[in-house]
Structure 1
Amino acid sequence: MKKIILVVATALLSMTGFAQEKAIKQYGFWDNWFLQGQVGVSHTFSENFKRTDLTNLLSPHVAVSAGKYFSPEMGARLQVGGWDAKSFNPAINGTYKINYIQASVDGLLNLTNLFTTYTEDRFFNLTGIVGVGVLHGFKNEDHDVRVTNSVVPRVGLQADFRLNQDISLNIEGIGNLMNDDFNGVVGGTKYDATLNVLAGITYRFNKQGFERVDIIDPAQIQSLNDQINAQRSQLRDKDRDIQKYQSEISRLAAQPVVVEEVRGETEVLMNAVVVFRLGSAKLEQNQDINIYNAAKYLRENPKVNITVTGYADKATGTPAINQRLSEQRAQAVADILINKYGIASGRINVQASGDREQPFEINEWNRVVVFTANN
């Protein structure tokens, strides 16, 4: 029973002592990766872009990305994208194309998780993008555009709409700043730039999402371990005491029956007792000899009747539980005398004292049934 109480107490201490602030569980390198595929349009801002309609400078753009989130707020991706860009040439009063390819490394900041409590299955997330890329522009001899290479800073926003655990849709707007010679014309503006508006699909794989766990103070763990170790030490001491008491009871129980004269009548106090385990009314096999001695005495003294009295120790249980337990113990002993040894039920008086009386000074010894015989 005390061991069960120890386990329950440990669980309660764990729940109450560590009901603290939440933290995000640590994940491995291969967790929380994703793939993205996007397609959309790009608008080029360069010399003379205001001299034509906006739609004349729209061109297709595609991008493929692979990335990872290190926490609910922070992530990164590697993106490869491109197609062509359009610039306006007043000399021909029309547009021309510059084909290009761009590789970028972007930092991702989930603004929704940054400013609100993280929820793994949230439908909408808004993410800020800051990155840098390398752009390679291809030659266009028809419009005197030479090969160009640019280091491209970029910034943008992405709206993500979760469909299920693995897949979501995204809409992204991102601006890119290139060298002034990107479109083959130098002058008029200090830089050329593109604005990409893309839509795509994100696929998350390999343990996506983050689990919130309790923050546990190592000092509290040590304190709890110290308490558990102290309780275990006390239990070991109790177990040794119980074994010692049981051995002493068994030794006393094996002694011959003592007969005393009381008020002119013969009252036989039988120091053979039946010992029970804590909280149990089940007869242990090593107690058979004590019941046998009582039965033997009754056969040899047919004019003697016997009172079988059950007890329970006062230190455990409640009075109601101990009363019922003492009744069960006394009845169990009476049943063996009647059914196994053939003692007439009329010669056996069954009584139970619960924990109201404690025949022994040592608490553990009171988990017994005591025989008292009278003429």
Structure 2
Amino acid sequence: MKKIISLAASVAFLLGMSTAANAQETVVDPEGGHNFIGVKGGAQATLTHYNFTDLITPQFGVYFGRYFNQYVGARIDVTGYQTKGGFKADRYGFINQDTPYKFNAATADLDLLMNMTNIINPKRVNRSWNWNLLAGFGVNYSWKHDEFDAIVTNVKNANIYYDGPVSCATKHASFNGRLGTQVEYNFSKNFSIMFEADANYKNDQYNLKFNDQVDWQVQAFIGITYKFGHKKKKVEQPAPEPAPVVREEPKPVVVEKKEEPKPVVKVKETTQKEIFFKINKSEGTEAENKKIAEAAEWLKAHPTATATVKGYADKGTGNAKINARIAKKRADNVAKKLTDVYGIDASRLEVSSYGDTVQPKAANNDNRLVIIVATEQ
């Protein structure tokens, strides 16, 4: 007998543990970190005495890193391609016209990232937009100095006295310091687009000339970022509500003197269907649409019944205006299937939507739904 009691207690304990586990859901922690990798393209120019617009050249880059939490991250960033410099005729007497030259250069930087939007408002619900600041340092490397060397060689071969900057063509590497900002839009959990603007401090030798002036480079990029490895957390889910118990009213006591019994009170029947949708979708999957068909069959079997069709949207994505529109569209599409596909009279339906002002479910993603409640009249 003791063994039977012990076995029953063990089974009950395991069932309880299973129920508790099922009451949890793993979701992305918005305050946690993630990895990222991306590509970008744009333009750069060096700030010198030469005409700014004549020094604009294309730039391309790749970057990867990690946000350690919602506030701070780090990345390795490699950018480069083509760079320009120039000699101004009114500055250097050995040439008679402004003469530009180009060369190739690339910069590798280690950057610190700070999400200022989360620092200012760490508990915000809408995380579609981010404003980031960045600061870093690294090294610049240049090559293919043929045009610069040709200008100097031609001047010397023409027996013109050369009093220009000293060539640093043999010194390919220089220090780089960076300050910048980003504006980022997350169009899904894994992808975002961003605009980035940087100012880069360079050694005097960056533009291939030593003239006792620090070189500055400005850059502007548009990029696309892939995010992965998000930190996750478990959230408690409320236990499902028990199915309503339909109780029959007790039959009236029949008085022996009367042959006819009192009429039995009929219990009104009801049914409920919950149709779930994917993010930003107003059309359900094939499995969810079967629930609409089941609701229609029930209404046909109960010709006096009426139904409410209520649409919702989750508060964790989008904004109030977008969510109001998507919730209404979901409710309208479900009602249209009931009337146009299954022939249910529209007068039997009461259609409404609540946007994200009402969240009937505890889990954020479960609030992308339409609830049909049909009751026999």
Scaled by the length of structure 2, the TM-score of the pair is: 0.45
Larger proportion of helix: 1
Q: Who wins on radius of gyration, i.e. which is larger?
A: 1
Scaled by the length of structure 1, the TM-score of the pair is: 0.45
